[in-house]
Amino acid sequence: MRIGNDLFVKRVQRIPGKLLVTSENPRYAPFEIDLSNTQDDIAIIGRVEWYGRSID
């Protein structure tokens, strides 16, 4: 996700009139973005997927 010039890897949930933005890292508190009153340019620019396997 991009907010202004900053890039983030976050979980984003759309709730009426807002976005709820959370992190997997518990050190970062969730925050809401009020879509009716934001001056930031916000964009969802990708999706992160994880794939793991054993290396022999």
**Span between the terminal Cα atoms of the chain, in Å:** 35
Tokens for 39, please give them.
Answer: 């001056």
pLDDT score at 8: 93
pLDDT in tens, 1-56: 999 999 999 999 999 999 999 999 999 999 999 999 888 789 999 999 888 888 87
Sorted by where each begins, the domain ranges of the chain are: 2-43
pLDDT score at 40: 79
pLDDT score at 11: 95
| Of the candidates 48, 42, 43, the residue with the CA atom closest to the CA atom of residue 23 | 48
pLDDT score at 23: 96
Report the predicted TM-score, pTM, of the whole model to 2 decimal places. Answer: 0.75
Helix (H) / strand (E) containing 32: strand 31-34
